[in-house]
Amino acid sequence: MARPQKYPPDPKTPLVTHLIELRDRLLRMLAGVAIVFICLFPFANDLYTTLAQPLIDQLPAGSTMIATEVASPFLTPFKFTLVGAFFLAIPWVLYQVWRFIAPGLFANERKMVLPLIVSSTLLFYAGMAFAYFVVFPLMFEFFIGTTPEGVAVMTDISKYLDFVLKLFFAFGLAFEIPIATILMVWAGITTPDKLVAKRPFIIVGVFVMGMLLTPPDIISQTLLAIPMWVLFEIGVIFSRIMVSKRADKDEDTPPPEPPPPPSAASQEEFYDRKR
């Protein structure tokens, strides 16, 4: 594997070297996901039962989940285990991405990117946990409670998996709002004051995103929109802290000294050459 031995890397490094490095990182990512999947696969059915527990707890007495396709009892837990392995391997995947792009970054950029990668991973997990422990019980209780008379609730296991994976992704993505806010301020695209001035539009925007990213019910939309608003405010607070630290650092940095004036001998030499 070709790896840069100095920082910054040689700009004349051939493209093939970068492609070999990229291939190596991709293989490491796949290997990490495969190892996690192999470890989880023997517990695939138990993991799916845990995933379905928020719905099972709300089902009426005598109701169960069903499988409407022949291969669903095997393929659905298999699919969930594979997706779960990728989610659990996200830190390893992002670490490989970091190792690939780090040699091309400046020192201040490397100090900024690494904490953002760690915090974005934790926020994504926090969004999934919020969906599972808070949103699912409230949402399924509402759905089951509004079932018409004479209708038996029997949810298909594959449909349920697709439904909750969409919500996991939506809430995990929504919890990245502080990271997006900090990145925009850091890149100079906007400022904390401008974001505060546009707060009414952002509030409307998060409710629209909640409507687009969640099923068509007011509970899940509201439970997604309100955390997005709160996370936006948190992102603004941390952006102000980052801007203030940057301003303090700029004040502490002395201005560059002006170049010394040319000596009389160098001026005479310049005029002699000009003649």
Question: pTM of the full predicted structure?
Answer: 0.76
What is the structure's pLDDT at 132?
93
The answer to whether 127 and 175 have CB atoms below 8 angstroms apart is: yes
The answer to whether 84 and 169 have CB atoms below 8 angstroms apart is: no
**pLDDT band at residue 263 using 50, 70 and 90 as cut-offs:** low
Amino acid at 249: K
Residue 229 has pLDDT above 50, yes or no: yes
What is the structure's pLDDT at 4?
47
Please state whether the peptide bond connecting residue 8 to the residue before it is cis, i.e. omega within 30 degrees of 0.
yes
Neighbours of 206 (CB within 10 A): 21
Angle between helices 157-174 and 218-252 (to 10 degrees): 30
**What CA–CA distance (Å, rounded) separates 122 from 128?**
10
> Best-predicted range by mean pLDDT among 54-63, 219-228, 238-247?
54-63
Residue 235 has pLDDT above 70, yes or no: yes
Angle between helices 44-56 and 157-174 (to 10 degrees): 80
Torsion of CA 9, 118, 239, 179, to 10 degrees: 100
Q: Percent of the chain, pLDDT > 90? A: 26
Q: What is the pLDDT of residues 188-206, one digit of tens each?
A: 888 888 888 888 898 888 8
**pLDDT band at residue 2 using 50, 70 and 90 as cut-offs:** very low
> Best-predicted range by mean pLDDT among 48-57, 210-219, 249-258?
48-57
Q: What is the pLDDT of residues 97-152, one digit of tens each?
A: 888 887 777 777 777 777 888 888 899 999 999 999 988 988 888 888 888 887 88
Per-residue pLDDT, averaged over 23-35, amounts to 93
**pLDDT band at residue 216 using 50, 70 and 90 as cut-offs:** low
Neighbours of 182 (CB within 10 A): 22
DSSP H helical segments within 1-156, as ranges?
A: 15-40, 44-56, 72-88, 90-101, 107-130, 136-145
